[in-house]
Amino acid sequence: MTIPSRVKLVDVGPRDGLQNEKQPVPAAIKIELVHRLQDAGLTEIEVTSFVSPKWVPQMADNAEVMAGVQRKAGVRYSVLTPNMQGFEAALQSGPDEIVVFGAASEAFSQKNINCSIAQSIERFRPVAQAALEKGIAVRGAISCAVGCPYEGEIAPERVEMVARLMRDIGVQHVGVADTIGVGTPSKVQKALEATLKIYGVDHVSGHFHDTYGMALANTLASLQMGIWNFDTSVAGLGGCPYAKGATGNVASEDVVYLLHGMGIDTGIDLDKLVDAGKFISDFLQRKPNSRAATALLNKRLG
């Protein structure tokens, strides 16, 4: 498989990145972040999630954020909807795509949502069907596709099973997520190979966390298989609340630097992306968790 000449990134910073922040982030800041990301050339942005504010208080302003975003033509705005209640609420805000998720680990599924993998995905069937009937795209995320904090290594067959279950309920595109960031290139390739038995290469994404510093290596290993869709998070925001010590998603800035350095087109303006990351990092009163952003910001000072 030849390396793709173009790559599409979904920035999950506003949702996956901010949902674990302890300090409240006002809706106005989240809206501004989305605006900065789309101005930087991102065409896919995961904006918020419609979950119970009891579980994720940071996302309680979901409707306000969606209503406040000045939408740009050609940009797809997605939201996470874990159940029908969340979907009904999300519907009012007109998302272009909804996201559902299932773990490739039984232990993670039980500890996270108190049910088996098969049960968890079956719960999404009415959500996926309702979305498709309304012409809303449905994306799925396979979490813990490489490793689990409770079970350890995950067999590729398990990933294939989750991909098949997702396809059966109507999920159109799946992300293979190394939720706790333990993956290495060969393990990630095996998880992707398992998924590619069920979905075509155009409908599979890589979603890598950088806990052990492997996210860029795993991105490169995925590119070598022809994967051209990736989830990234501006300024490396985010983590996993269920995985102790798991650092954030791979920084969008680092992935864009890698891709541009390989002559791969992203349609993204790296300088504007760095500015977006600095904006949210300044609000959170910390430095961007991105090597490329740090280097470029230091260079500007020079």
Closest CA to 213 of 235, 183, 242: 183
Closest CA to 233 of 176, 288, 272, 271: 288
Closest CA to 80 of 92, 62, 68, 64: 62
pLDDT of residue 238: 86
pLDDT of residue 290 exceeding 60: yes
CA 76, CA 70: separation in Å to the nearest integer?
12
Residue in the block written with tokens 């269920």: 242
What is the average pLDDT value for the chain, to the nearest integer? 95
Mean pLDDT of 110-116: 88
Closest CA to 64 of 97, 29, 88: 29
Whether 237 and 207 have beta carbons less than 8 Å apart is answered as: no
pLDDT of residue 242: 52
Q: What are phi and psi of 238, to 5 degrees?
A: 110, 175
pLDDT in tens, 120-173: 999 999 999 999 999 999 999 999 999 999 999 999 999 999 999 999 999 999
CA 275, CA 253: separation in Å to the nearest integer?
10
pLDDT grade for 68, boundaries at 50, 70 and 90 = very high
pLDDT of residue 129: 98
pLDDT of residue 245: 56
CA 13, CA 232: separation in Å to the nearest integer?
7
CA 160, CA 99: separation in Å to the nearest integer?
19
Mean pLDDT of 89-97: 98
pLDDT in tens, 217-244: 999 999 999 999 999 999 999 865 555 5
Catalytic site positions: 240
pLDDT of residue 1 exceeding 70: no
pLDDT in tens, 171-224: 999 999 999 999 999 999 999 999 999 999 999 999 999 999 999 999 999 999
Name 147's bridge partners.
153
pTM: 0.96
Whether 234 and 275 have beta carbons less than 8 Å apart is answered as: no
pLDDT of residue 293 exceeding 80: yes
What six digits make up the tokens of 246? 């798991």
Please state the length of the chain.
302
pLDDT of residue 247 exceeding 70: no
pLDDT grade for 248, boundaries at 50, 70 and 90 = confident
What six digits make up the tokens of 69? 């975003």
CA-to-CA separations, 277 to 78, 101, 239, 271, in angstroms, rounded: 20, 26, 16, 10
